[in-house]
Amino acid sequence: MTPLLELRAVGKVYTRGVFARERVVALKGVDLVIDESRPRIIAVAGESGSGKSTLGLLVLGFLQPTEGAVLYRGKRVDALRGAEYWRFRREVQAVFQDPFAVFNPFYKVDHLLQVPIEKFKLAPSRQAARLMMEDALRAVGLRPEEVLGRFPHQLSGGQRQRIAVARALLLKPRLLVADEPVSMVDASLRATILESLRHMRDAHGVSILYITHDLTTAYHVADEILVLYAGRVVESGEVEAVIRAPKHPYTQLLIDSIPWPDVSRVWGAAPMTKRDGTEARANTGCRFAPRCPAVMPRCWQVPPPTYHLGLRRAVACYLYEQEAEKFNPAEPQCMAAR
Ligand code: ADP
Ligand code: MG
């Protein structure tokens, strides 16, 4: 079956400066398959500057790849026209860190919810529109009478973020891209918002790309995880497998920095260290080589390929070359880690 969304060897190079002399390789060789028949929450984790938001924007069609292709129901997103384009716009929705930063502060919540209903002609009457709004708000745990009629600044960060989820939900999306949706709300509300994402998956069959710099929330909310380092997927798999038994030296370092016995309690602890990745970009081989405790001579020369260690389990590190040879996928893989 054609996947809902697919990234094939996607790369993104930003250019800036005079005659585009400055080039930033934000993403390289990213493969991802999102299958509608089995909605899952896929975490994209990595430190600041690793390319997470770029990946989200590519999936949303807000950016075009400079290499490879982003396919929606088998068609290149940049080639969608007419009804297909609008179906894509409706089915693939976004929730950002502070969605209200991009909304007009002079509009009430009602208006913010009304716009998509009108734009996509979702309701036959004002009354029907009102009922839709109320349902969407209740679905994210808000009481309509408490938030309708209010302005964004009159609501808490957590309420605003849930309204953003409700707004996305109105459109009955098949995929939600949530870029750091809880990094601006306090710890007590994080669980509620993450719960509303799980509810979207379970009750509404929505797949979610959950973008985060924080492994602990990824572990709690996601089914699968992709770990990005300097624009490459270094490891991917079922979240349980990756977090409990990380393969890539980078993932191992990240996980060692989390106080494990407390993981169920320390929401948002152990953020990944901020680095600009310049040293990682300097060599022609593996970008993690300069920081890698297991670095070998070949790592400096050619970037390692992605080795598949099982269904939905992959790692881009020469240490796993032999282990990968033993694994021979019997059927084509259709999940995140192909
Ligand atoms: P993350 O979301 O993981 O912090 P981003 O996707 O925002 O990472 O950025 C990845 C890399 O691309 C960074 O080095 C960043 O500086 C660079 N970058 C992001 N957006 C642009 C842009 N519009 N122009 C030039 N470089 C950019
Ligand atoms: Mg980002």
Cα of 262 to ligand 1 centre, how many Å? Answer: 32
Is 210 strand, coil or helix?
Answer: strand
> Letter for the amino acid at 213?
H
56 Cβ closer than 6 Å to some ligand 1 atom: no
Q: Which of 54, 213, 233, when mutated, tests ligand 1's pocket best, judged by the most ligand atoms within 8 Å of its CB?
A: 54
Phi-psi sector, 205: left (phi>0), alpha (psi -120 to 50), beta: left
Most confident range (mean pLDDT) of 272-281, 312-321, 328-337 is 312-321
Looking from the CA of residue 213, the nearest atom of ligand 1 is 3
Whether 281 shows a pLDDT value over 70: the answer reads: no
Task: For residue 184, give Cα distances in angstroms to 62, 100, 146, 335.
Answer: 23, 12, 22, 30
Per-residue pLDDT tens for 37-92?
999 999 999 999 999 999 999 999 999 999 999 999 999 999 999 999 999 999 99
- Ligand closest to Cα of 96 equals 2
Query: What is the spatial order of strands in the sheet that 207-212 belongs to?
Result: 92-95, 175-179, 207-212, 41-45, 224-229, 232-238, 313-315, 307-310
- Tell me how far the alpha carbon of residue 134 lies from the centroid of ligand 1, in angstroms: 37
- Please tell me whether the overall predicted TM-score, pTM, comes out greater than 0.85 for this model: yes
Distance CA 277, CA 47 (A): 9
Give residue 328's pLDDT: 66
306 Cβ below 6 A of ligand 1: no
pLDDT in tens, 164-202: 889 998 999 999 999 998 887 777 778 888 988 999 999
Cβ atoms of residues 34 and 5 within 8 Å: yes
Residue 269: what pLDDT? Answer: 42
- Residue 231 is given by DSSP the state T
Tell me what pLDDT residue 185 has: 79
Residues β-bridged to residue 238: 224
Is the C-beta atom of 57 inside 6 A of ligand 1? no
Q: Find the 268 Cα to ligand 2 centroid distance in Å.
A: 16
> How does residue 225 score in pLDDT terms, banded at 50, 70 and 90?
very high
The residue contributing the CA closest to ligand 1 atom 15 is: 49
Residue 22 pairs in a beta bridge with 16
- Supply the residue whose CA is at minimum distance from atom 22 of ligand 1: 14
Q: What is the pLDDT of residue 260?
A: 58
Is pLDDT above 90 for 156?
no
Q: Is 13 in the pocket of ligand 1 (CB under 6 A)?
A: no
Q: What pLDDT score was predicted for residue 291?
A: 93
Ligand nearest to the CA of 45: 1
Mean of pLDDT over the chain: 88
Helix (H) or strand (E) holding 9: strand 5-16
In this prediction, what percent of the chain has a pLDDT beyond 90?
Answer: 66
Of 210 and 270, more confident: 210
Angle at Cα 308 formed by Cα 64 and Cα 68, nearest 5°? 15
- Looking at per-residue pLDDT, the higher value among 134 and 103 belongs to 134
Domains, the chain, ordered by start: 5-222 (3.40.50.300), 247-337 (no CATH)
Cross-strand partners of 76: 71
Q: How far is the CA of 155 from the centre of ligand 2 (A)?
A: 24
Least confident piece of the model among 96-100, 136-140, 172-176, 277-281: 277-281
What's the pLDDT at 39? 96
Cα(296)–Cα(60) distance, rounded to whole angstroms? 38
Q: Pairing relation of β-strands 75-76 and 67-72? A: antiparallel
Q: 329: pLDDT confidence band, cut at 50, 70 and 90?
A: low
Tell how far the Cα of 6 is from the centroid of ligand 1, in angstroms. Answer: 21
**Ligand 1 geometric centre to CA of 260 (Å):** 30
